[in-house]
Structure 1
Amino acid sequence: MTITASDVMLVDQQIDAFNRQALDDFMACYSPHATVLTDGEVVASGEDALRALYVRQFAEAPLTATVLSRSSQAEWIVDRERVEGGGIPPMSVLALYRVRAGLIDMVQFVGRQAE
């Protein structure tokens, strides 16, 4: 599989919705069967779990993500992001997004560390 311009636009739309804490716009970027992993651990799988995770995060610790660099490999879009807000120190994180059939079906967050 090859990354397309529309795949990149979808990831950008997802980041924009995340930064605005616009839950419905955010969820529209994800497959109903999407899985989210943090450092290899599944933290949400499926639409209901994903929605519950981000309802809580948007309410308790609204964060913003800034893309510092981006690359792609096979079916993955890989961002190095600066995440800040919500009363936490800024963090650097790798975010790996897999887009299939026009929706994000998996995202992995790797190597969170304070900046």
Structure 2
Amino acid sequence: MSSDTEAARVVDRQIDAFNRQALDDFMACYAPHATVLTDGEVVASGADALRALYGRQFSEVPLTATVLSRSSQAEWIVDRERVEGGAGIPAMSVLALYRVRDGLIDQVQFVGREAQ
């Protein structure tokens, strides 16, 4: 799903890189101090932690994300995404809240995961 705001474009680039498991392209969408939260808990903070987290995921459990719907408000992009993996990995639906500042994602929160 595409939009024409700077925030939406960086989120779109990040999703594309995620789907290709292109770690350098993925990391280029994030601020050096970015934080990732899942259900309110910090799972990675800073570029080194994000690179380790997603590098491991891309090599061990490659997933793809499809944006089902999108809303935006100021610096926030809120996507409802369907995330799928290979054999044996059930599809899930999740809300992804991306905060974009100065052209980079500085925070992403994943909430409300549901099996599909």
**1:66 aligned residue:** 66
Long gaps (5+) in structure 2: none
SS at match of 1:18: helix
Higher strand share: 1
The amino acid of 2:44's aligned partner reads: A
Structure 1: segments with no counterpart, 5+ residues = none
Shift of 1:42: 0.1
Q: Distance in 2 between matches of 1:24 and 1:88?
A: 25
Over residues 21-62 of structure 1, what are the superposed CA-to-partner deviations in whole Å (9 max), with x where a residue is unaligned? 000000000000000000000000000000000011001110
**Matched residues, number:** 112
Q: Distance in 2 between matches of 1:39 and 1:74?
A: 22
Q: Give RMSD over aligned pairs.
A: 1.0
What corresponds to 2:108 in structure 1? 107
2:70 maps to 1:76: no
Identity %: 84
Partner of 2:40: 40
**Paired residue for 1:92?**
93
* Stretch deviating more after TM superposition (69-78 or 10-19): 69-78
Shift of 1:65: 0.1
Aligned to 1:24, the other structure's residue is in SS state helix
Which residues of 2 match residues 1-16 of structure 1 at below 5 A? 5-16=5-16
TM-score, L = length of structure 1: 0.94
